[in-house]
């Protein structure tokens, strides 16, 4: 080999080595991230992978405290996300004109039905941090199990909605239609809650609802804005009952009129107190009985009849009466709300 050929071969070898060195610096080593300088975060709970489980940690000075804190944290995070999702779904389905009108009702109903206990949540594991002496717990919710359960709930709810829509088609009179529309709205909000739960756990909803809620709530808004109730509960204790019944109506955006002739519906009745002799010389017992009727003035049709009774006792007879009247009035108030489709529980 000549001197010139040897020199050329040496240059070629050096170029190959240089190229390989540069490429090895650019290409990732086996098992490493493709983005240099970034170290992947290790999953400290591989037995409960995030793809399958919704997770939250809690800590405390005892195992019980840590478990309680973990479950509370999981419920809190889950509930806040559900409330946010549901509010968005509800307002979009109501339409821009109706969302503001029913905003308080939406928020109140969502807060009630979204704050139920998070069923299916459990403690996955607990451990002790020896460095700090604190106990830790991991609360988990199986996305698949929860998704199956909530899809079953969704199917049941859709059956109730279909029945209520059918009832609306045959409802005559403004009061029955207002009650039916209120029930449909409440059921739709319940449905939005379940849909939102499924969205939070990334599980598909297996049924769809094509109900035009914006159209229905527009009709409800027209009826409710012009509808007036007259409340008159007679007797010595009627004022307390009438006040509680009226508060339930106004809390739900339904108007009260003090003029009977201008009312579209009357709520009339009475509350009576009966002393009870229970052979207890220290405590006075009484029974409160409430009986009210809801009548639509246009047709004079009886829309609802509510009868409730309750017993209360106290060292002071007047206090026993007060407690009994208040309790029976609240029971009647709950029944009235349910009859009008305004379920608050």
**Domain positions in the chain:** 53-142, 144-224, 227-339
Rounded CA-CA distance 255/37 in Å is 66
Within 10 A of 74 (CB to CB), how many other CB atoms are there? 23
Using alpha carbons, select from 285, 131, 146, 138 the residue that is nearest to residue 202.
146
| Strand partners for 138 | 57, 125
Q: Are 230 and 259 in contact (CB under 8 A)?
A: yes
Rounded CA-CA distance 41/303 in Å is 63
Angle, helices 103-114 vs 63-94, to 10°: value is 150
Within 10 A of 92 (CB to CB), how many other CB atoms are there? 13
| Strand partners for 287 | 274, 311
Residue 319 confidence (pLDDT): 95
Residue 8 confidence (pLDDT): 45
Q: For residue 225, what are its two tokens? A: 């804005």
Rounded CA-CA distance 295/199 in Å is 43
What architecture is domain 53-142?
Answer: Roll (3.10)
Residue 161 confidence (pLDDT): 93
Complete DSSP assignment for 12-48: HHHHHHHHHHHHHHHSPPTTS-SSTT-PPPP-S-TTS
Answer whether 53-142 and 227-339 agree in fold. no
Q: What is the pLDDT along the chain (345 residues), one digit of tens a residue?
A: 544 444 444 444 344 343 434 334 433 444 333 433 444 445 788 999 999 999 999 999 999 999 999 999 999 889 888 888 888 888 777 766 666 666 766 777 677 666 667 888 999 999 999 999 999 999 999 999 999 999 999 999 999 999 999 999 998 889 999 999 999 988 988 898 899 999 999 999 988 877 888 888 888 988 998 999 999 999 899 999 999 999 999 988 899 999 999 999 999 999 999 999 877 778 899 999 999 999 999 889 999 999 999 999 998 999 999 999 999 999 999 999 999 998 655
Q: Are 177 and 168 in contact (CB under 8 A)?
A: yes
Rounded CA-CA distance 145/54 in Å is 11
Q: For residue 328, what are its two tokens? A: 């029976």
Q: Are 126 and 90 in contact (CB under 8 A)?
A: no
For 189, residues 6+ apart whose C-beta sits below 8 A from its C-beta are 86, 90, 106, 109, 110, 113
Task: Name the maximum alpha-carbon separation found in the chain.
Answer: 130
What architecture is domain 227-339?
Answer: 2-Layer Sandwich (3.30)
Query: What's the gap between Cα 115 and its chain centre?
Result: 6
Q: Are 245 and 329 in contact (CB under 8 A)?
A: yes
Rounded CA-CA distance 166/109 in Å is 24
Residue 3 confidence (pLDDT): 42
Residue 30 confidence (pLDDT): 41
Residue 303 confidence (pLDDT): 96
Residue 214 confidence (pLDDT): 83
120: left (phi over 0), alpha (psi -120 to 50) or beta: left
pTM to 2 decimal places? 0.75
3-state helix, strand, coil in the chain (%, to 5): 55, 20, 25
């Amino acid at each position: 080999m000549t001197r010139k050929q040897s020199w050329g071969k040496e240059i070629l070898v050096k170029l190959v080595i240089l190229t390989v060195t540069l490429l090895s610096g650019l290409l990732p080593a086996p098992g490493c991230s493709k983005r240099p300088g970034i170290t992947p975060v290790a999953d400290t709970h591989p037995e409960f992978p995030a793809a399958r489980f919704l997770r939250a940690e809690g800590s405390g000075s005892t195992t019980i405290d840590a478990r309680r804190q973990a479950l509370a944290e999981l419920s809190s995070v889950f509930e806040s996300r559900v409330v946010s999702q549901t509010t968005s779904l509800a307002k979009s389905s109501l339409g821009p004109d109706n969302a503001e009108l029913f905003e308080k009702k939406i928020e109140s109903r969502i807060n009630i039905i979204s704050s139920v206990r998070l069923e299916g949540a459990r403690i996955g594991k607990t451990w002790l941090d020896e460095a700090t002496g604190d106990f830790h717990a991991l609360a988990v919710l199986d996305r698949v199990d929860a998704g199956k359960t909530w899809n079953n709930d969704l199917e049941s709810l859709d059956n109730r909605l279909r029945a209520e829509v059918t009832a609306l088609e045959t409802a005559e009179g403004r009061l029955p239609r207002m009650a039916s529309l209120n029930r449909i709205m409440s059921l739709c909000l319940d449905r939005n809650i379940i849909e939102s739960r499924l969205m939070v756990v990334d599980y598909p909803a297996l049924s769809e609802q094509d109900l035009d809620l914006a159209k229905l709530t527009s009709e409800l808004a027209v009826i409710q804005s012009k509808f007036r109730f007259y409340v008159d509960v007679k007797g010595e204790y009627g004022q307390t009952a009438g006040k509680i019944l009226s508060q339930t109506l106004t809390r739900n955006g339904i108007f009260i009129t003090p003029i009977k002739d201008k009312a579209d519906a009357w709520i009339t009745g009475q509350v009576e107190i009966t002393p009870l002799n229970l052979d207890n010389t220290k405590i006075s017992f009484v029974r409160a009985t409430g009986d009210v009727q809801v009548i639509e003035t246009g047709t004079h049709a009886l829309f609802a009849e509510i009868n409730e009774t309750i017993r209360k006792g106290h060292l002071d007879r007047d206090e026993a009466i007060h407690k009994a009247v208040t309790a029976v009035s609240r029971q009647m108030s709950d029944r009235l709300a349910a009859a009008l489709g305004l379920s608050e529980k």
